[in-house]
Structure 1
């Protein structure tokens, strides 16, 4: 027998303010057609003034706890993936802990768009090691606060939101038929640091800075690295692409998502797509998409779910989960 982490429930939260491509046409030199053709994005949610990353995280986590049917007091670990913490320190996860009334420990992790996969891996390993029994894994972002609204190559891409899952440890046979997190696979390549970054920080400019990106190079790396890590995840579990029931990818660009689906020979109706309505919500994108597909009944008990993401660093990873 081995210790596994099964997902008991999930939840999500999106700010009320929806900004469409048409809305952006009046702010920057862009068009709805230009954005849709290159990214598939039609709209995104933007946090209200005074609405913080911790607020989004608490809302998503509360819904995940309700869906799981467990009390916040039974949670002994919170791992929050975010690029947009409320403050430089302490960890935004500790604010979430206080608001929810959980026990144990809470920490932030930073892997940008790959953040949720990294956070899931960390929480899963805490449970496997016996350091936690139940964990909240959250991806939450107010990414709009990092945008240069005069830079049409980046400001049209991103949005705000949060998603969360509740993990619980249990003893399992240790086969690919087990429920829960089957494996996670993480990578980074610091030599590509300058392809996607924020041009500020406490140790450099003393300011928050804005997102800067070499879009073409990021796209090229994304296709190759995500294809490789998807193959790695399947091989580690002795699975073929045909065994995947659902692809829940990071929602950055529809062309990247379509490319991975083609590689897996998955029909489009087996791909959970939210990029058109959410934009790129960084660490929140996978749990937002996951929660949507679970709550509308697409993802069912026993389904094999493949999650993958790449972000600044470059950092990338994949997680294979049996629901």
Structure 2
């Protein structure tokens, strides 16, 4: 018997406040044209002052549960990928568990910054394959607007807030690449590159801090590492870029997305792009894009989907799944 972690439901949530590029022109030396040409971003959503990461995550989780036709107590576990949890502890995942009214199972956070959702999916897959859980709710949620230096024009225009969720369920497969569900994963990190993308504060240093990024260096690593991890994951199941119906990449920068697709020899018509409307929502960006892609009628059952992401750490990875 070959178990597979199969997608049963997907959902997302975006805060009400939409911040157009032009809004930044009032406070910093930038322009809509400058932001668009360098990132592809046109607008992003910012959470309301009283809205937390666990709030966004709960909305997305409810939408994924509704899509799957399930109740909170049908779920065995929640894995929430985030770098912007409500509190130092407990985990935001346990807060979502409580808000959903889920009284059984377990919940925990995963921290791999923008690669967080890929890491969370891989962990959920491992829990299902090992028999520790039958149904896992995997969420990516962020309120990056809280850790931005609004005077740093190189970073503050790039990020947004949001949440996306995927509901995975154990189902029997044949063991071939024709199975539905997660087929292969590939995870990587290299702590030597901390200084090109990090937040300059935290609990152990008794500071809060803001996001710091060396954009050119991040870009240099991103395209090569994303294409490589996607190829590695595909090779594990004997597939290549030609077999891919959709790339659903981390939505950081349109130039990185195009560069990675080009390296993988996959045309942009087979890439789900949401960066123009959401900005970089870190761990939320892949599940957000998956949910939007399904809602638009583009991602269909049986199609082969590759997700890949890179974030601070550096941490990067890919998941290949059949929808």
Normalising to structure 1: TM-score of the pair? 0.99
What residue in structure 1 maps to residue 126 of structure 2? Answer: 125
Normalising to structure 2: TM-score of the pair? 0.99
- Please say if 1:199 is aligned against 2:210: no
Deviation at residue 267 of structure 1 after TM alignment? 2.1
The separation in 1 between residues aligned to 2:90 and 2:68, in whole angstroms, is 28
What residue in structure 2 maps to residue 53 of structure 1? Answer: 53
- Please say if 1:213 is aligned against 2:210: no
Deviation at residue 239 of structure 1 after TM alignment? 0.6
Moved more, 23-32 or 83-92: 23-32
Deviation at residue 295 of structure 1 after TM alignment? 1.4
What residue in structure 1 maps to residue 183 of structure 2? Answer: 182
> Any idea what SS the aligned residue of 1:152 has?
coil
Deviation at residue 264 of structure 1 after TM alignment? 2.4
Deviation at residue 253 of structure 1 after TM alignment? 0.4
What residue in structure 1 maps to residue 24 of structure 2? Answer: 24
> Any idea what SS the aligned residue of 1:309 has?
strand
Q: 1:1-323 counterparts in 2 under 5 A?
A: 1-102=1-102, 103-204=104-205, 206-323=206-323
> Any idea what SS the aligned residue of 1:130 has?
coil
Deviation at residue 41 of structure 1 after TM alignment? 0.5
The separation in 2 between residues aligned to 1:197 and 1:146, in whole angstroms, is 11
The separation in 2 between residues aligned to 1:238 and 1:101, in whole angstroms, is 42
Deviation at residue 101 of structure 1 after TM alignment? 2.1
The separation in 2 between residues aligned to 1:290 and 1:164, in whole angstroms, is 9
The separation in 2 between residues aligned to 1:240 and 1:317, in whole angstroms, is 16
The separation in 2 between residues aligned to 1:7 and 1:231, in whole angstroms, is 22
Deviation at residue 73 of structure 1 after TM alignment? 0.7
Deviation at residue 3 of structure 1 after TM alignment? 1.3
Write the deviation string for residues 231-286 of structure 1: whole angstroms up to 9, x where unpaired: 10111110121100001000000001001111222222211000011000000000
Write the deviation string for residues 80-111 of structure 1: whole angstroms up to 9, x where unpaired: 00000000001010000011122210000100
Deviation at residue 139 of structure 1 after TM alignment? 0.1
The separation in 2 between residues aligned to 1:73 and 1:146, in whole angstroms, is 34
The separation in 2 between residues aligned to 1:284 and 1:263, in whole angstroms, is 24
Deviation at residue 207 of structure 1 after TM alignment? 2.4
The separation in 2 between residues aligned to 1:278 and 1:40, in whole angstroms, is 10
The separation in 2 between residues aligned to 1:19 and 1:26, in whole angstroms, is 12
The separation in 2 between residues aligned to 1:74 and 1:315, in whole angstroms, is 32
Gaps of at least 5 residues in structure 2 are: none
The separation in 1 between residues aligned to 2:40 and 2:49, in whole angstroms, is 27
Count of paired positions? 322
> Any idea what SS the aligned residue of 2:297 has?
coil
> Any idea what SS the aligned residue of 1:121 has?
helix
Mapped contact 2:82–2:109 kept (Cα < 8 A): yes
Q: Which runs of 4+ in 1 moved over 4 A?
A: none
The separation in 2 between residues aligned to 1:101 and 1:248, in whole angstroms, is 31
Gaps of at least 5 residues in structure 1 are: none
The separation in 1 between residues aligned to 2:174 and 2:208, in whole angstroms, is 47
> Any idea what SS the aligned residue of 1:57 has?
helix
